[in-house]
Amino acid sequence: MSTIGILGGGQLARMLALAGAPLGLRFLVVDSSTDACAAQVAPLLRADWRDFDALADFAKRIDVATFDFENVPADTAHWLTEHTQVFPNPRALSISQDRLAEKTLFRQIGLDTPAFAAVDSSEGLARAVDEIGVPSILKTRRLGYDGKGQFRLRSRDDVDAAWQALGGAPSILEAFVPFERELSVIAVRARNGEFRAYPLTQNWHADGILSASLAPAPDSEALAPVAFAHARRIAEELDYVGTFALELFVKDGKLLGNEMAPRVHNSGHWTIEGAPSSQFENHVRAVCGLPLGDTSALGVSVMLNWIGELPSAQAVLAEPRAHWHDYGKSPRAGRKVGHATLRAADAREMIERLSRVARALGREEQAAPVLAVLHKQV
């Protein structure tokens, strides 16, 4: 029986452990938090990322290490490779931690991106604005996710405020893209190089945090092969093992690379009930050297993210083919505390189910953009 060590004890680690248990896998989570929610389903080793004495003990107790959080220090990942198997590898982790390196990789493998420029000073930001223009978005190169570490420049007068807001951290300025929609590829690559991808997912965000996902993304037949090819090239370039997400913008019918997440991803939560093998199961299969599972869609799925606090579960659980996930976290503004997934045979049936749940929960605004897209399919 293999034991998988997970660096990071959030909901992603929790769902990895739940997915791996039926396969006979054991888990050990390492996290410095006193209330890591993954500890409710797997043993927890409390330690800092750079507590190498504790990590040495961690490495002795596991067969392979992986991550639920991309901001684990790359030097910690490198250190672990000297003591155990680590998937994905430290290079993949390091590149995804640096938005400049990430965007550069995208262009190297043929995936276009919004215009961007490295920024290391307020003067450099002024030059980048001259080059790229406004509106544009200044982002820290590291440690930004869920809309954190970003400042939108609406005019050239925002240069000083933007630089101060990000604390003078090494940054990247990106052109603002008036995209038509946001898509993501959830893909997985095995140790032997086998590659699979789930159907494209369409996503909506609120305040920089994922609000809802719809899969398969409607009208994506032409885009899917292109998106999958980009994801495959990234995975092969990085010799990636495990599940990852590639976030994309669609502009004028073409794909632009936004970000990569070297881990299981929020926009793939629908796969737990909406695919024969979830992104979580396929990740543990990949890192353990097991054959990959089926990534096809079982009808239409909609995932609704619960941010800050959980609504009532009753309206969701009363709905046929509806699934509730409580992450076991205390409520807090901006915190992902759970999600629900609805499944249906087709768009028409999903409209009925999603409309009922949204009305019962008072979540009409959250469901509205998803319903608008679904109505175009019937």
pLDDT of residue 221: 95
Sequence-separated (6 or more) residues with CB below 8 Å from residue 3: 25, 26, 27, 28, 61, 62, 63
- pLDDT band per the 50, 70, 90 thresholds, residue 237: very high
Q: 94 lies in a domain?
A: no
User: Can you give the CATH number for the domain in which 41 is found?
Assistant: 3.40.50.20
Q: Over range 275-300, report the average pLDDT.
A: 98
Strands 136-140 and 209-215: unpaired
Same-domain status, 244 and 141: no
Q: Name the CA radius of gyration of the chain, rounded.
A: 20
pLDDT of residue 108: 97
Same-domain status, 219 and 337: yes
Structural domain total, the chain? 3
The pair of three-digit structure tokens given for residue 203, joined into one six-digit string? 């996503």
Same-domain status, 187 and 151: no
pLDDT of residue 167: 87
pLDDT of residue 65: 97
pLDDT at 267 over 60: yes
- pLDDT band per the 50, 70, 90 thresholds, residue 146: low
Same-domain status, 157 and 10: no
Sign of CA dihedral 177, 308, 262, 165: positive
Q: 110 lies in a domain?
A: no
pLDDT of residue 73: 86
pLDDT at 165 over 70: yes
Same-domain status, 75 and 155: no
User: Can you give the CATH number for the domain in which 256 is found?
Assistant: 3.30.470.20
Helix (H) / strand (E) element for 202: namely: strand 201-206
217 close to 202: Cβ distance less than 8 angstroms: yes
Q: Exposed/middle/buried for 192, CB within 10 Å: 0-12, 13-18, 19+?
A: exposed
The CA–CA distances, whole Å, from 312 to 63, 251, 354, 361, 371 equal 40, 37, 15, 7, 21
The CA–CA distances, whole Å, from 311 to 35, 56, 88, 90 equal 21, 41, 35, 38
pLDDT at 144 over 70: no
pLDDT at 86 over 70: yes
Maximum pairwise Cα distance, the chain: 60
188 close to 243: Cβ distance less than 8 angstroms: yes
pLDDT of residue 260: 95
The pair of three-digit structure tokens given for residue 335, joined into one six-digit string? 């915190």
Same-domain status, 123 and 82: no
Q: For the chain, what percent of residues have pLDDT higher than 70?
A: 98
Same-domain status, 157 and 27: no
- What's the order of all strands across the beta sheet hosting 85-86? 44-46, 26-31, 3-7, 64-67, 85-86
Same-domain status, 167 and 193: no
Q: For the chain, what percent of residues have pLDDT higher than 90?
A: 89
Same-domain status, 188 and 242: yes
3: β partners: 26
- pLDDT band per the 50, 70, 90 thresholds, residue 148: low
| pLDDT 10s digits, 307-337 | 999 999 998 999 999 999 999 999 999 999 9
Q: 98 lies in a domain?
A: no
Q: 106 lies in a domain?
A: no
125 close to 138: Cβ distance less than 8 angstroms: yes
> Which of residues 140, 158, 175 is at a domain's end?
175
Same-domain status, 317 and 366: yes
* Range of the structural domain that residue 65 is part of: 3-86
Same-domain status, 41 and 143: no
Q: 213 lies in a domain?
A: yes
